Structure 1
Amino acid sequence: MDSIARLASQKAVVIFSKSSCCMSYAIKRLFYEQGVSPTIHELDQDTEGREMEWALMRLGCSPTVPAVFIGGKFVGSANNVMTLHLNGSLKNMLKDAGAIWL
């Protein structure tokens, strides 16, 4: 869990993903389209990916990917991120975290 917290706080937007997950792909595209360059940790390509996935499950991530952190805080999975995007809150969160300046 400490490694998740450490990795999540290193950049304004951090996404834990799997390269074969279509929802992870959609969320990454959403952030790119917002002008954000997130740090992406592909769990299926990381030697510690299985341990990180277990830590994400203990945080309450279900499903475990995509797991999005903004400003070091856990935002949630694809459903949470899309809800924030649709209600306009995501852009403000990204501004507050310094991920975008518009």
Structure 2
Amino acid sequence: MEKVLKVASENGVVIFSKSSCCLCYSVNILFQELGVTPFIYEIDKDPDGKEMEKAIMKLGCNTPVPAVFIGGQLKGSTNEIMSLHLRGALIPLLRQYHGFNN
């Protein structure tokens, strides 16, 4: 859990991802289109990946990837991020981070 929280707290917008996950790719593209370049952490390329998946689930994410953290706080997976975006709540969360152009 410590590794997940450390990565999440050191970067403004983090997506814990797997290189073969199409939903991870979709969430990343959403952020890119909004003008945000998230830090992508590919947990399938980390020897501690399985433990990180468990930690993400313990933190409250319904699926281990994609897991989106903004400002060190877990905001959720694909459904939660899309819901935030559709309600107009995602952009205000992102405004405070460097590199956000909207």
Which category describes the TM-score, using the shorter chain as reference length? Answer: over 0.9
Deviations 1:17-44 (CA, angstroms, capped at 9, x unpaired): 1111111110010011111111111111
Q: Percent identity?
A: 50
Contact kept in structure 1, 2:68 and 2:75, CA below 8 Å = yes
Give the whole-Å Cα distance in 2 for the aligned partners of 1:19 and 1:66. 10
Q: 1:99 to 1:92 in 2, by over 3 A?
A: farther
Q: Report the Cα offset of residue 99 of structure 1.
A: 4.9
CA drift at 1:3: 1.3
SS in 1 for 2:80: helix
Q: Tell me which residue corresponds to 1:70.
A: 70
The equivalent of 2:36 in structure 1 is 36
Q: Is the 8 A contact 1:17 1:24 kept in 2?
A: yes
What SS does the corresponding residue of 1:51 show, helix, strand or coil?
A: helix
Quote the RMSD (CA, aligned, Å): 1.3
The answer for the alignment partner of 1:46 in structure 2 is 46
Scaled by the length of structure 1, the TM-score of the pair is 0.92
How many angstroms apart in 1 are the aligned matches of 2:70 and 2:9? 8
Return 5+ residue gaps in structure 2 as ranges.
none
Structure 1 gap ranges (5+): none
Question: Is the contact made by 1:13 and 1:99 (CA closer than 8 Å) also made in structure 2?
Answer: no
Number of corresponding residues: 102
